[in-house]
Amino acid sequence: MIKKLIFLSSLVICIMARAQQFVNLAPTPPMGWNSWNTFQTNINEDLVKATADKLVSSGMRDAGYIYLVLDDGWMAKERDSAGFLVPDPQKFPHGMKALAAYVHSKGLKFGLYNCAGTETCAGYPGTRGYEYQDALRYAQWDIDYLKFDWCNTDGINAKEAYTTMSKALKKAGRPIVFSLCEWGSNKPWLWAQNVGQLWRTTGDITARFEGIKTMGEWHANGVMTIADMQDTLRKYAGLNHWNDPDMLEVGNGMTQAEDRSHFSLWCIMAAPLIAGNDITKMSEQTLNILTNKDAVEIDQDALGMQGYRFKKLADSVEIWVKPLNNDNWAVAFLNRSHTTVKVDYDWKKYIVNDTVHKRILNCNTHNYSLKNVWTKEDAGTTKKPLSGSIFSHDVLFLKLNY
């Protein structure tokens, strides 16, 4: 009887320890790099190693960008005779386990892509019907992150498909961050909190500030087009479960002002920060945006509260706000117009009442010191009205310290 109790106790401890591995995988929005925005399927072993090296030497790893994720196109066109996925032998001659070891040796984590459908978006083998087999292979390869897309899914139920893959990853036994790239089509924010750690809220992003880009049978969204879709979703995000408005287009052809605005809004929205540029060739200006310490800290704030658009002023200026730890706030004044706009803002006139997070910004009862996130300069306090000019598509990004 005593031996049986000891065995049962050991079994319970083992089960609890295993379950604990899958808790708290993304306490703050994941940060890293993904190959798709710049390279699409033109990826290989040398690119991964060069990117890993640059994530370290540039300071991006130390700024928080720890996930290096290979998107579509890493696998061969056919599974092996046992049904397992096979890395493309021309692109990845040493295989994924060896490549993961190289990435890990740099203090980084390694991620891969697949799809809930029968084929990936680029026509490679999808996971439908192979969920447990693929999850086992990812665990054997020491993968840390899985981006799971939604192409070629006719007749498939999204919640069922993603839940099955989630269970398969847990069954495989290796903690893997699960990114649901379902495009928001089936409202994953309503059901995915216990399925994965982040879920896409829209279709793909593209490197333009406003509007959409037609891509034949589908379209990609500009930065502000995506931002406009997020207003009603913030109540669904929080620690270990994040709304994902897609990867960053910083450094991919927009203006410096637009890149700053893009990055500021993603930080205000507590979005995953997944760089999508060629970091081996990026400019100093792009690096400075991606690694701005104050901006990243706002995104990674311990409270995990997604910010929102508080108010629209005249001349296409919007005010975005985010509650922060220690009763601090982040506030961004965004100029969506095509001309420079002068802003005069009386902090005491407007009270921010965040009813979702039960936070109030009232400058009549509390005074805050202001720090300009991008210039690092002291910008005064909320005792006096804010006055200044904002260039076209640019942002005045402030940290309000209590």
What would the pLDDT profile of 249-281 be if each residue is shown by its tens digit? Answer: 999 999 999 999 999 999 999 999 999 999 999
| 364 assigned to some structural domain | yes
Q: What is the pLDDT, as a whole number, of residue 162?
A: 98
Residue tagged active-site, from 204, 244, 259, 394: 204
Is-catalytic flag, 246?
no
Tell me how far apart the alpha carbons of residues 202 and 189 are, in angstroms, rounded to a whole number. Answer: 11
Q: What range does the domain containing 142 cover? A: 28-299
Q: What is the token pair recorded at 113?
A: 């892509």
Position 310 pLDDT exceeds 70: yes
Mean pLDDT over the full length of the chain? 95
| 157 assigned to some structural domain | yes
Same domain, 183 and 128: yes
**Other CB atoms closer than 10 Å to residue 365's CB: what's the count?**
9
Same domain, 359 and 272: no
Same domain, 167 and 193: yes
What would the pLDDT profile of 181-228 be if each residue is shown by its tens digit? Answer: 999 999 999 999 999 999 999 999 999 999 999 888 889 999 999 999
Is-catalytic flag, 259?
no
- Taking residues 289-297, what's their average pLDDT? 98
| Residue labelled with tokens 């032998």 | 89
Q: Is 4 helix (H, G, I), strand (E, B) or coil?
A: helix
Same domain, 292 and 323: no
Same domain, 224 and 348: no
* End position of a domain, from candidates 299, 332, 365: 299
For the chain, the domain total comes to 2
Tell me how far apart the alpha carbons of residues 332 and 310 are, in angstroms, rounded to a whole number. Answer: 10
Residue tagged active-site, from 144, 149, 246, 278: 149
* Helix runs in 21-130, H state only: 36-39, 45-57, 60-63, 95-105
Q: Is 252 helix (H, G, I), strand (E, B) or coil?
A: coil
* End position of a domain, from candidates 299, 317, 343: 299
Same domain, 317 and 252: no
Q: What is the token pair recorded at 35?
A: 């190959």
| 254 assigned to some structural domain | yes
Same domain, 353 and 264: no
Give, for 310, the enclosing helix (H) or strand (E). Answer: strand 308-312
How many secondary structure helices (H) and strands (E) does the chain include?
11, 20
In CATH, what number is assigned to the domain containing residue 321? 2.60.40.1180
State the Rg of the chain over Cα. Answer: 22
